[in-house]
Structure 1
Amino acid sequence: MKAGVDVGPTNTDAALLDDDGRVLATVKVPSRPDMPVANVRSALEKLKATDLTQVAVGLRGSATSVTRRRELRRVAVLRISGDSARAVRPLFGWPADLRDAVNAGAVIVDGGGGLERDDWTPLDRAAVSRFAAAMAGTAEAYAVVGLFSPLDAEQEQEAAELIRAEVGDMPIALSADLGSLGLLERENATILDAALSGFAQTVADGLGTLCPGAAVFVTRGDGTLMSLEHMSRHPGLSLGSGPASVLRGAGALTGLEDAVVADVGARRVRVGVLSGGFPEEAVGGARIGGVPVGFRIPGLIKVDRPVDDAELAEAVDRLQPGADRLPLVTVGGGAQAVQQGIHPEHGLAAGAIGAAVSPVGGFYERIVRLPDRAAVAAAMDAVMEEARAVAVLAGADPRQTVIIHADETQLDYLPGPFVKLRARAAGPPSRW
């Protein structure tokens, strides 16, 4: 037996499934504000499930913390770039209230500085140590961002060691762990990862006590799962996970891998696309709490309630990929108010079902310099192996983890034969 739970702002849904993915029962309980662990406990108690081997939880609390500016740690931001990236300072463009809630201080130090190793400048170790010492007692977490960490993360790791030597065992988020390439989006994501570390640890500790003997996972914004330990290290990965679970659940309930999905909630309708069984990412990058970030979250169009049929139809049309129209699947607690689309059985608990049936995922992205096309295959093999390793680290069964997507992009705007390689891996949750 396995259970999925989707903690929404109004209600918390739970679903009980067998190992073949058949839905055995669903329940709905009112959500208590700012009590995610208590909401999960109430839903599981009403589900009356025993002998669970796995519980997967869709949490929207991380996004709520960011949008409401609550339960956020103050972060000291260290950017390693030297003069090449001083024009735009860390936290540039953040809403003032969010910046005030998160920012403990920021500095740009020398280091990195080139696409080739011979062009790199040494990390200014003394400047890193001075900054860490100056932030002691003020910062509750640190974010370390290297301009060229997608090429080589060594200086980020070196800086983290220097920070620990000054301040001890503090949460330190490294941008290289998040994998995205754009400096500002990656930096913003790293800062939010650090800011959410306290909230994530509290939730992870609470969820870990709910179901003794069961493996507990949390949903991610890309439609996969991660272990509680992985979530406590990278809480930002849970941003966008609620809609992602709904999209996955709509696909599981209809057997469709490609569809437009309307999630009809109590306050609004969110429309997204399921592509190849997984949520289609936001085009042009994601924004959380008014901040552009490098996290992978679903691209959504929001329609306010009460639902206007014409407005909903326009949103669905905008998400259609072309002349070959995708079917519309309508799910969510308010789905009965919408006549359009396929209404699957158990659609009211699509988010909980999507959480229960999702695999554990891993993503890896790197820029590499290739002397010729013959080297692409070996470089891609290395990137795919890293993606598999990330998935296993997040809790996937290493014996069944496979690559679900890989691609390469020629970076013509960089001097020399540089390419961006990306790979996604997924596997069933490990029970050991």
Structure 2
Amino acid sequence: MRIGIDVGGTNTDAALIGDGGEVLATVKSPTTEDVTGGVAAALAGLGATQVSAVMIGTTHFVNALVEAARLEPVAAVRLGLPATAALPPMVDWPERLRKVVEGASYLCHGGHEYDGTPISELDPEELRRVAADIRARGLRSVAISSVFSPVSDSSERRAAEILAAELGQEAHLSLSCEIGRVGLLARENATIVNAALRPLAERAVAAFSQALKVAGIDAPLFLSQNDGTLMDLSRATRYPVATFASGPTNSMRGAAYLSGLTDCAVVDIGGTTSDVGILVGGFPREASGEAMVAEVRTNFRIPDVLSIGIGGGSLVAEDGSVGPRSVGYRLPEEALVFGGGTLTATDLAVAAGHADIGDPSLVAGLDPARPLKLIADRVADAVDRMRTSSDPLPVVLVGGGSILIRELPGFEDVRRPDHYAVANAVGAAIAQVGGEVDRVFSGPRDTVLAEAKAEAVARAERAGAREGSVRIADVEEVPLAYLPGDATRIRVKAVGDLDLEKINA
């Protein structure tokens, strides 16, 4: 048996999945400020201790960035002089975040051109002086970036060796070549964000582990990533940004599992927002360009999700419009059906007979038809904006707020599967192990494709996937006409089932 947990800003959802893949039990409990309490309560609610693994998805880290809280000041080291001096690190950050995260910035020699030619030679003495200043400032988190490091990461690797030797084991080093794509500023931003979250990641992982001990569970613990795959605790503490979109991803993966569909639209309706995404081959479609996270431009991989301000706690105005303001976690206190004085979208659903929540007699006089139609129209419009063709597209509704919708205009196949309210926890429980390759290859197409696929499979197996279960989930090719030797940037993603015997060995 496996346990999947999704730690949201309002609720912590948990699901117990049997060895045959069936959902045995589910629970929803309030998220606590210390994280441990909510997870422990959810585990206690399931009442299972003899499990093979526990998988957790969390918005803890992205919430910290949004709130500009619990973040560590960062020393940003960029390798690229004499280039890149015009735009220093964090130049495009919002001031409120910059004040919290900016510890110091350093422009140093190193980096490469687009074809791998060095811009300038790395200067070890320069980096040692930087390390001395970082140490004098008392900074522990360091973000290292260099020009075109996805093409050649040698400058970043060498700089990390020098800084680690000078700063010691207490320093947390984050390398942009391991986090983002081509595009210096966005990749550097993502790396700085990751560095700012490293200490919090260590505390959060320790809290999750403690929650398992409190519940009497002795099983491997994993965190789910943006792409729907798992990472162990060691990787989770090094790359907290890899969890930023795990909530929507888990919901979409859970929707696929519960509905039996692999290609569809998923609408996850929570208390405040509705997230709309597209599943392709059972995995969320990735955003193709840069992603804004808490007003910071980044380019690490996250699912392509469109969010709109409609949820179960959304306020209903006198003119019948709904959202974007919401009572959020105060829904059980403020909604009319619970004896409160605020008209919410949940009250509309109860009045329409879509759900039996609270006291329906308290909303017996409501006419919910028009505002519920407006909700359905807005959600349908969001799904339509996400689709890429006019072909029929099934829509799966999940999340506690999905009781707001029965039909979507323009979509004939609309489903709400069993256990829809905890699809996010189910998605965490059924997550697989992944391996990914994203680099420039040179040579005949068939040869380099085979090489990239073999490397991705090997990485998945090293990460804990069972041999023979790994499949290629996605392949992306971008010919680089400006490079010699038939150069092509190839990204291959492989996924496989978790091999617990290998993990426990």
Q: TM-score range by the shorter chain?
A: over 0.9
Q: 1:183 offset after TM fit, Å?
A: 1.5
Question: What does 1:164-183 correspond to in 2, within 5 Å?
Answer: 164-169=164-169, 170-178=171-179, 180-183=181-184
Counterpart CA distance in 2 for 1:45 and 1:119 is: 56
Give the 3-state SS of the residue equivalent to 2:250 in structure 1. Answer: helix
Residue aligning to 2:152: 152
- Structure 1 alignment gaps of length 5 or more: none
Residue aligning to 2:309: 304
**Paired residue type of 2:379:** L
Q: 1:162 offset after TM fit, Å?
A: 1.1
8 Å Cα contact 2:230/2:433 also seen in 1: yes
1:328–1:115 distance in 2 versus 1, CA, 3 Å: closer
**Paired residue type of 1:334:** G
Q: 2:218 aligns with which of 213, 218, 228?
A: 213
Question: What does 1:27-426 correspond to in 2, within 5 Å?
Answer: 27-32=27-32, 34-116=33-115, 119=118, 121-136=120-135, 137-169=137-169, 170-178=171-179, 180-209=181-210, 210=212, 212-305=217-310, 306=314, 308-340=375-407, 341-368=414-441, 370=442, 372=443, 374=444, 376-392=445-461, 394-397=463-466, 400-413=469-482, 417-426=486-495
Counterpart CA distance in 2 for 1:116 and 1:296 is: 23
Counterpart CA distance in 1 for 2:455 and 2:181 is: 14
Q: Percent identity?
A: 37
Counterpart CA distance in 2 for 1:160 and 1:175 is: 11
Q: 1:107 offset after TM fit, Å?
A: 1.4
Give the 3-state SS of the residue equivalent to 1:251 in structure 2. Answer: helix
Counterpart CA distance in 2 for 1:189 and 1:167 is: 22
1:116–1:285 distance in 2 versus 1, CA, 3 Å: closer
Report Cα offsets for 1:133-160 as digits up to 9, x if no partner.
1011431211111213212222211111
Q: 1:399 offset after TM fit, Å?
A: 5.5
8 Å Cα contact 2:252/2:266 also seen in 1: yes
Counterpart CA distance in 1 for 2:308 and 2:116 is: 49
Q: 1:385 offset after TM fit, Å?
A: 4.1
1:161–1:302 distance in 2 versus 1, CA, 3 Å: same
1:363–1:87 distance in 2 versus 1, CA, 3 Å: farther
Give the 3-state SS of the residue equivalent to 1:396 in structure 2. Answer: coil
Residue aligning to 1:26: 26
- Structure 2 alignment gaps of length 5 or more: 315-321, 323-374, 408-413
Q: 1:411 offset after TM fit, Å?
A: 2.1
1:54–1:70 distance in 2 versus 1, CA, 3 Å: same
Q: 1:387 offset after TM fit, Å?
A: 3.0
Of stretches 346-355 and 220-229 in structure 1, the one that deviates more from structure 2 is 220-229
Give the 3-state SS of the residue equivalent to 1:152 in structure 2. Answer: coil
Give the 3-state SS of the residue equivalent to 1:81 in structure 2. Answer: strand
Give the 3-state SS of the residue equivalent to 2:192 in structure 1. Answer: helix
Counterpart CA distance in 1 for 2:464 and 2:226 is: 16
Q: 1:389 offset after TM fit, Å?
A: 4.7
Supply the RMSD in Å over aligned alpha carbons. Answer: 2.0
8 Å Cα contact 1:179/1:364 also seen in 2: no
**Paired residue type of 2:122:** L
Counterpart CA distance in 2 for 1:386 and 1:77 is: 31
TM-score, normalised via structure 2 length: 0.80
8 Å Cα contact 2:115/2:151 also seen in 1: no
1:298–1:119 distance in 2 versus 1, CA, 3 Å: closer
8 Å Cα contact 1:91/1:99 also seen in 2: yes
8 Å Cα contact 1:208/1:228 also seen in 2: no
**Paired residue type of 2:178:** D
8 Å Cα contact 1:84/1:113 also seen in 2: no
Residue aligning to 2:354: none
Report Cα offsets for 1:221-251 as digits up to 9, x if no partner.
1111111111011111001110000000000
- Is 1:12 the counterpart of 2:12? The answer is yes
**Number of aligned residues:** 427
1:183–1:389 distance in 2 versus 1, CA, 3 Å: farther
